[in-house]
Chains A and B, each alone.
Chain A
Amino acid sequence: MKARLARIAEQTGRATVVGVAEIGYGAFLLFESLFWLIMGKKRRQPVRLSAVMAEGMEFGVRAIPIVAILSSTVGAMLAIQGIHTLKTFGAESRVTFGVALSVVREFAPLITGIVVAGRSGSALAARLGTMRINQEIDALHVMGIDPVRFLVAPALFAMLVMLPLLTLLADLVALTGAGLYIGLDLGMDMPAYWDRVIEALKVDDLAHGLGKSLIFAVLVTLVGVVNGSLVEGGAEGVGKATTRSVVHAISAIVVTDMLFAFVLTR
């Protein structure tokens, strides 16, 4: 019994140390990426725009269909649920107010973050993990090409541009989805609906949602990169790192979102 408790304590301790080390490594990668962005030109190792564009295409543009489908569905779902709940108080005409705030402040950044974590966070982990196993990271080192500058920085900056843009798209699509249902159910015409949406929203709400998406961008990229670059144990290791990166990134996004709501929305 004593031995078992000791073992549990030891495992917990070890896992904590590993966790803290990974967070530290993530922070290091963030600063190193910023360093290369600012100092790269001077050191004749610039972060290449073409690489950022290529990553942006993959993370952002190719994610448009799935983000659009999910956010329109979530928008309609919020409208259905909102009308149903507000009917109890006879206040269903106020549904637009609730839907607009929920979408812009919470649902659009959250859905976009989760989709991108699933699509691109995992892809980053898999790509870096495979590169590490195939000695491609070593090859970059010995060619005098800094892997952070070459692989991490472009992904990070592409994500920082693309995630807010996708979130903005999700805002529009989700509100349109909600508007279509509200129009059908309450007989409200679209111009009146959009008037009410604009009335309900302040710049602050939009900034809240987009600000969060910037933080999600950093989280998804760093979680993917840290998991990928610490891969051990061949192909199986890459699989594990990929799964781990999706789970970690989504958890980090949801927890950060809650913290944001706790601090800024109350």
Chain B
Amino acid sequence: MNATAVPNRTKVVEIKDLVTHYGKRKILKNVSLDIYEGEIMVIMGGSGSGKSTLLNHLLGLLKPSSGTVRILGQDINAISETEMTKLRTRMGVAFQGGALFSSMTVGQNIMLPLREHTGLDPSTMAIMARLKMEVVKLAEFENLMPAELSGGMIKRAALARAIVMDPKLLFCDEPSAGLDPVVSAAIDELIISLRDAMGMSIVVVTHELDSAFRIADRICVLDRGDILIVDTVEAVRNSSNERIQNLLNRRLEDAALDPDDYMRRLTIGI
């Protein structure tokens, strides 16, 4: 299912003219992006492209200098804290390093959102957590501590925790980074099956090209704080834009050398 953008589909994420600074440096320059219900959107870019910053804005961990971010129809920088907490129960996030709580077992980690947001009794919560562990193929690992898991298992446990509340919207930060190709492919399959089986809209931030092409419905390529293209896998592959082709073919880009600036950098503070 390679869905292209159809204007009348429901938007789950709407980013409009997002500008953000780190100190005086502009990280995102007027980024606008819509993500539709039921699609897998991959946000791609090299390091320093601003993709992690963009993700942090989508998660409401950073406040923009200007522009708006609407998640499931709500402007996350304008709503009250209580509404934001409610909204957060409809979003799941799998962090790059898993971000599992090291003092809790895998099972307790996965159960935590249920424990904090629902009034379910412990046995129901345990069953719901086990259901998700089956989905990510981690059954029977619930009593292990995160330190006892392999890299791939940590990512799967993080995914299970992210989906335990059955969110509408799932964010994955570098789901296949640092994994061997086989495990990485398995994680990709898992992401696709989550979309297909549970109808989630999924936003994946990654710099892994193979993984991006495998799972994406649409790809957004970010470069130095600008969106270069938002389109289907095919269209991105065939793009004639030089910077996109450089990224796809893993070519290093030389920043244009300004002799005056170069001299200034060498002599600054001496």
CB distance from B158 to the nearest CB of A (A): 8
- A136 and B86 CA atoms in complex are apart in Å by 20
Closest-by-CB residue of A relative to B58 is A142
- A134 and B99 CA atoms in complex are apart in Å by 6
CB distance from B147 to the nearest CB of A (A): 11
Asked if A135 and B117 sit within 8 Å, CB to CB, the answer is no
Q: Mark A62-76, 1 if CB is under 8 A from B, else 0.
A: 000000000000000
Known: A43-B82, A143-B88, A144-B85. A138 touches B112 (CB 8 A): no
Known: A43-B82, A141-B61, A144-B85. A134 touches B91 (CB 8 A): no
Chain A residues within 8 Å of chain B by Cβ, number: 16
Asked if A143 and B116 sit within 8 Å, CB to CB, the answer is yes
Closest-by-CB residue of A relative to B87 is A144
CB distance from A2 to the nearest CB of B (A): 17
Known: A43-B82, A134-B97, A135-B96. A142 touches B102 (CB 8 A): no
Q: Mark A126-152, 1 if CB is under 8 A from B, else 0.
A: 000011001110110111110000100
Q: Which B residues touch A142, using CB under 8 A?
A: 59-61, 88, 91, 93
CB distance from A46 to the nearest CB of B (A): 10
Asked if A134 and B102 sit within 8 Å, CB to CB, the answer is yes
Asked if A139 and B93 sit within 8 Å, CB to CB, the answer is yes
A45 at the interface (CB under 8 A from B): yes
Q: Which A residues touch B95, using CB under 8 A?
A: 135, 138-139
Q: Mark B221-263, 1 if CB is under 8 A from A, else 0.
A: 0000000000000000000000000000000000000000000
- Interface members, chain B 46-90 (any A CB < 8 Å): 59-61, 82, 84-89
- A44 and B81 CA atoms in complex are apart in Å by 13
Interface size class of B (residues with CB under 8 A): 20 to 34
- Interface members, chain A 34-53 (any B CB < 8 Å): 43-45
Q: Which A residues touch B59, using CB under 8 A?
A: 138, 141-142
Asked if B101 and A136 sit within 8 Å, CB to CB, the answer is yes
Q: Which B residues touch A139, using CB under 8 A?
A: 93, 95, 99, 101
Known: A141-B61, A143-B116. A135 touches B97 (CB 8 A): yes
Asked if A138 and B88 sit within 8 Å, CB to CB, the answer is no
- A141 and B102 CA atoms in complex are apart in Å by 17
- Interface members, chain A 108-139 (any B CB < 8 Å): 130-131, 134-136, 138-139
Closest-by-CB residue of A relative to B85 is A144
Q: Which A residues touch B82, using CB under 8 A?
A: 43
B151 at the interface (CB under 8 A from A): no
Closest-by-CB residue of B relative to A149 is B116
CB distance from A35 to the nearest CB of B (A): 11
Closest-by-CB residue of B relative to A145 is B116
Q: Which A residues touch B86, using CB under 8 A?
A: 144
Asked if B99 and A136 sit within 8 Å, CB to CB, the answer is yes
Closest-by-CB residue of B relative to A135 is B99
Closest-by-CB residue of B relative to A54 is B103
B113 at the interface (CB under 8 A from A): yes
Q: Which A residues touch B99, using CB under 8 A?
A: 134-136, 138-139
- A136 and B93 CA atoms in complex are apart in Å by 12
Closest-by-CB residue of A relative to B94 is A139
CB distance from B156 to the nearest CB of A (A): 16
- A135 and B102 CA atoms in complex are apart in Å by 12
Q: Which residues of A contact B (CB under 8 A)?
A: 43-45, 130-131, 134-136, 138-139, 141-145, 150
A-B pairs with beta carbons under 8 Å apart, 7 shown: A134-B102, A135-B97, A135-B99, A136-B100, A138-B95, A145-B112, A150-B116
Q: Which residues of B contact A (CB under 8 A)?
A: 59-61, 82, 84-89, 91, 93, 95-97, 99-102, 112-113, 116-117
Extra A-B contacts (12), CB below 8 Å, given A136-B102, A139-B99, A142-B61: A43-B82, A44-B117, A131-B101, A135-B96, A135-B99, A136-B100, A138-B61, A141-B59, A142-B59, A144-B84, A144-B117, A145-B112
In order of increasing CB-CB distance, the 9 nearest A-B pairs are A144-B88, A139-B99, A135-B99, A144-B85, A142-B93, A135-B95, A136-B99, A143-B113, A142-B59
